[in-house]
Amino acid sequence: MEIIPLKLNRMVEIGENLFNVTTQLVDSSAVRVQNGDVFVLTSKIVSYEQSRVVNLADVTASEATRVEAEHYAISTELMELIHREADVIYGGIKHALLTLKDSMLTVNAGIDCKNSPLGYVTLWPTNLRLWTQEFRRELEQYFSAKVGVIVADSSCVPLRVGTVGVSLAASGFKPLRDYRGSEDLYGRRILITQYAVAQSLADAAHIVMGEGSEHIPIVLIRGADIEMSDETFDGADMSMPFKECFFSGALIDYLMRKRDFTARFEEKLGR
């Protein structure tokens, strides 16, 4: 498998057409797009095309938001935006809140100061199912090839230091490979394993995209073992219920058992 960076030696402009950016980068390189190639784009440049960039000076925070912002050492303007963007806010630590956004657990509802203009923040892109599907079809028509597209961001793994790449949307191939019911190397039946294909490709692209001033907003992956499809998938298609997720399900189980134990103990004490 090849991971081919498409380096852009300038800033992507807010409102700039990403189809034009992508095709120009490919046409000016030695790359010739083939069937099965996968384009991975950072979510930030998709947000730029959609003008999902906010001047913090234009944000007015409520009094309740100000109190919460002080508690978590987050600016009042950012805290206000997190409340507007997040589907659920669970709590947090200094400078960061754990939120649910578009069926994914993420930090600060995906809002990012990094690699945003000074005084601005970038929000996650919207309508990713439609955007990714239309973008892929434009590329396929232009290059006369069947390709895949991933919109990727970075996130964290519980109790691990550092960021990894994650897929927010995928089009043109199946994002999951289901191993349930098949056998492992020793003939044992596999019970729960589903392989996150799009997630793994996003993480592979993240290695060369980086997190700073690399200027590599688009990566082309060639030779990946994928099942091509005309379908498009967003976060809801690649998520699972809380109780089925190992991390959240186990925490829910722990808290429920702890609550039951506390209730029984207090009952014995006559409280």
Residue 29's alpha-carbon distances to 33, 202, 212, 218, in angstroms, are 11, 22, 23, 13
Sequence-separated (6 or more) residues with CB below 8 Å from residue 200:
none
Residue 55: what pLDDT? 96
Predicted structure pTM score: 0.92
At 243 the pLDDT is: 81
- Residue ranges in the chain whose pLDDT is less than 70: 261-271
Q: List the chain domain ranges.
A: 1-52+125-229
Out of 3.30.465.10, 3.20.20.80, 3.40.190.10, 3.30.1330.100, select the CATH number for domain 1-52+125-229.
3.30.1330.100
Nearest partner of 235 among 174, 167, 147, judged by Cα: 167
| CA-wise closest residue to 81 among 95, 102, 60 | 60
pLDDT tens figures, 6-57: 999 899 999 999 999 999 999 999 999 999 999 999 999 999 999 999 999 9
